[in-house]
């Protein structure tokens, strides 16, 4: 008989070795898939590497994809760590984009540093409020936040469409010539463009730097503050948190709000760093909110690891677009992402558990009979 049991101690080296080994295994499996589908694995990997990092403008493009993933990844890492299942990063990002573009349009004449700050605030606040809906419902009415936050993604998506396509809202461009042919959002003024930081041919988006700062801040919040302590206790054992007199509802709402603010900042960076216009279609096709879940899971919900993983997944997404063509379907890129995710999560599982061969000892009941009944259930 094969049984799986939990190993008590995870050695420190395992935490670094496991993801690396998992990535290696993933690349072998993906290589087989590539070979079967008629592609040269080594050549493809070389192409991916070039398209992500070395060819002209590749690194910049990688960071364009990595920036929103960094924010949505942080949003998920924060919430999931506390076992608050915020699947609504997608919708919170949309609302953040709506908020930031609205502020950008409204305060277009302000000095640039102040305008950028206000756009970030607008995006964060919009995402925060949107995330409060499932947060409050979960905390006070015990609804399932997975369902509520997921459904609200569609509501937010439709709301964005309504602003641009179905109404003459403040966001919609009703004057320019092209807008008369096809509905589109108003372009922001140049002052609302977030300045990238240029290193030679590589431009680091402002949003990515801000995201890095937030990652460090979140880590400090979790590790060094009383609120972070409450979060960690609640994430580990909600019974113990309640027993210790912690205000669990308030903590849930706060965590949800912070998570929504992170995703909302992702939306703001989409406006400020790249789009400069509210583009419902582009945002919805990118699916940054959902990919953020993958990023956070691969980073094992550690904010600093999210920074690195977001670059890796950003690189893969970027390479996917570069490779995509008649001979290389986009689905193959998704397949490779999936293989990596499975390998890393599987590696983490095997790190936490041991597989034993041979008959498992019969579970001993504690002193009373109740454990016997437990087995019977």
Partner 1 sequence: MDSRADRVSAASAESATAGSPPAVAAVGVTKRFAGGVVANDRVSFEARQGEVHALLGENGAGKTTLCNILTGLYRPDEGEVRVNGNPVRLHSPHEAQAAGIFMVHQHLSLVDSLTVAENVVLGWSRHGGLGFSARTVEAEIEEIASRYQMAVDPRARIWQLSLGERQRVDILKALYRGASILILDEPTTVLTPSEIEQLFSSVREMVAGGRTVIFISHKLPEVFAIADRTTILRRGRSMSTLEIAETDARQLARLMVGHEMSFDVHPRATSVESEPAPAVPPVLALDGVHVRGDFGIDALKDLSLAISAGEILGIAGVSGNGQRELAEVVAGLRPFSRGTIRIGGENVVSGDPRDAINRGVANIPEDRMGTGVSPNLSVAENLILKSYRSSSPHAGPMLLMRQAEAQATALMARFDIRAPSPRTLVRQLSGGNVQKVVLARELSSGPRLVIAASPTRGLDVGATEYVRSVLVDAAKQGAAIMLISEDLDEIVELSDRIAVLYEGRVVGVVDAATASYEQLGLMMAGATS
Site map for partner 1, 60-89, x if CB under 8 A?
A: ------------------------------
Q: Which stretch binds partner 1 (CB under 8 A): 75-83, 139-147, 225-233, 269-277?
A: 225-233
The stretch among 24-32, 146-154, 243-251, 296-304 that binds partner 1 (CB under 8 A) is: 243-251
Q: Got the DSSP string for 1-38? A: -EEEEE-S---HHHHHHHHHHHHHHHHHHHHHHHHHTT
Report which of 120, 68, 117, 74 is spatially closest to residue 99, judged by C-alpha positions.
120
In the complex, what is the shortest distance from the CB of residue 352 to partner 1, in angstroms, rounded to a whole number? 11
Closest distance to partner 1 from the beta carbon of 82 (Å): 13
Binding residue for partner 1, selected from 13, 226, 325, 357, defined by CB under 8 A: 226
Nearer to partner 1, 166 or 374 (CB): 374
Rounded Cα distance, 133 and 93, in Å: 15
Distances (CA, A) of 281 to 164, 183, 185, 346: 10, 11, 11, 34
**Position among 108, 228, 287, 346 found at the interface with partner 1 (CB under 8 A):** 228
Q: Of these, 225, 281, 327, 338, which contacts partner 1 (CB under 8 A)?
A: 225
What Cα–Cα distance (Å) separates residue 346 from each residue in 8, 99, 176, 294, 354?
A: 18, 39, 53, 14, 12
Q: How far is the CB of 254 from partner 1 (least distance, A)?
A: 12
Task: Pick out residues in 343-362 that bind partner 1 (CB under 8 A).
Answer: 361-362
SS3 of 129, please? helix
Handedness of CA 291, 295, 297, 301 (dihedral sign): negative
Among 111, 113, 195, 372, binds partner 1 (CB under 8 A): 372
By the rule CB under 8 A, 242 interacts with partner 1: yes
Count other C-beta atoms under 10 Å from residue 45's C-beta. Answer: 15
369 is an interface residue for partner 1 by CB under 8 A: yes
* Binding of residue 243 to partner 1 (CB under 8 A): yes
Task: Classify strands 202-204 and 2-6 as parallel, antiparallel or unpaired.
Answer: unpaired
Three-state SS for 197? strand
Enter the DSSP assignment of 52. Answer: I
Q: Which residue, 282 or 372, is less far from partner 1 as judged by CB? A: 372
Segment near partner 1 (CB under 8 A); pick from 86-94, 226-234, 269-277, 285-293: 226-234
Site string for partner 1, 3-42 (x = CB under 8 A): -----xx---------------------------------
- Tell me if 329 contacts partner 1 by CB under 8 A: no
Burial class (CB in 10 A: 0-12, 13-18, 19+), 221: middle
Number of residues forming the site for partner 1 (CB under 8 A): 36
What is the Cα–Cα distance from 169 to 258, expressed in whole angstroms? 28
Rounded to a whole number of angstroms, the minimum distance from the CB of residue 51 to partner 1 is 41
By DSSP bridging, strand 202-204 and strand 353-357 are unpaired
Determine if 1 is a binding residue for partner 1 (CB under 8 A).
no
Say whether residue 141 binds partner 1 (CB under 8 A). no
Q: What are residue 129's phi and psi, to 5 degrees?
A: -65, -40
- The rounded distance, in Å, linking the Cα atoms of 182 and 194 is 27
Q: Measured from the CB of residue 221, what is the shortest distance to partner 1 in angstroms? A: 9
Which stretch of DSSP H or E encloses residue 202? strand 202-204
Q: SS3 for 126-186, per residue?
A: HHHHHHHHHHHHHHHHCCCHHHHHHHHHHHHHHHHHHHHHCCCCCCECCCCHHHHHCCCEC
Per-residue string for binding with partner 1, 244-273, x by CB under 8 A? xxxx--------------------------
366 binds partner 1 (CB under 8 A): yes
- Residue from the set 16, 177, 181, 375 that interacts with partner 1 by CB under 8 A: 375
Q: State the residues that interact with partner 1 by CB under 8 A.
A: 8-9, 224-229, 232-233, 236-237, 239-247, 361-370, 372-373, 375-377
């Amino acid at each position: 008989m094969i049984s799986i049991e939990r190993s008590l101690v995870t050695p420190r080296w395992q935490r670094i070795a496991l993801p690396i080994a998992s990535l290696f295994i993933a690349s072998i499996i993906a290589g087989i898939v590539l070979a079967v589908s008629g592609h040269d694995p080594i050549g493809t990997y070389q192409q991916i590497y070039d398209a992500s990092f070395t060819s002209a403008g590749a690194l910049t493009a990688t960071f364009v994809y990595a920036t929103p993933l960094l924010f949505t990844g942080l949003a998920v890492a924060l919430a999931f760590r506390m076992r608050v299942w915020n699947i609504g990063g997608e919708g919170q990002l949309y609302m953040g984009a709506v908020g930031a573009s609205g502020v950008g349009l409204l305060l277009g004449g302000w000095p640039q540093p102040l305008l950028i700050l206000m756009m970030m605030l607008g995006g964060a606040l919009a995402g925060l409020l949107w995330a409060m809906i499932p947060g409050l419902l979960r905390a006070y009415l015990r609804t399932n936040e997975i369902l509520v936050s997921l459904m609200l993604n569609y509501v937010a998506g439709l709301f964005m469409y309504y602003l641009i396509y179905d109404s003459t809202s403040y966001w919609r461009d009703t004057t320019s010539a092209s807008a008369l042919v096809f509905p589109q959002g108003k372009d922001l003024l140049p002052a609302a463009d977030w300045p990238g930081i240029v290193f030679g041919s590589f431009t680091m988006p402002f949003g990515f730097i801000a995201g890095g700062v937030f990652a460090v801040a979140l880590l400090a919040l979790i590790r060094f503050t009383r609120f972070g302590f409450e979060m960690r206790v609640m994430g580990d054992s909600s019974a113990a948190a309640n027993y210790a007199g912690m205000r669990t509802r308030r903590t849930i709402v706060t965590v949800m709000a912070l998570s929504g603010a992170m995703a909302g900042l992702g939306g703001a960076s989409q406006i400020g760093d790249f789009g400069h216009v509210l583009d419902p279609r582009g945002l919805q096709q990118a699916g940054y909110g959902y990919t953020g879940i993958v990023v956070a899971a691969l980073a094992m919900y550690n904010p600093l690891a999210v920074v690195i993983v977001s670059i890796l997944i950003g690189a893969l997404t970027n390479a996917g677009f570069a490779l995509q063509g008649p001979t290389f379907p986009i689905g193959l890129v998704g397949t490779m992402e999936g293989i990596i995710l499975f390998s890393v999560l599987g590696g983490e599982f095997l790190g936490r558990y041991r597989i034993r061969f041979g008959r498992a000892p019969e579970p001993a009941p504690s002193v009373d009979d109740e454990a016997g009944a437990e087995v019977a259930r």
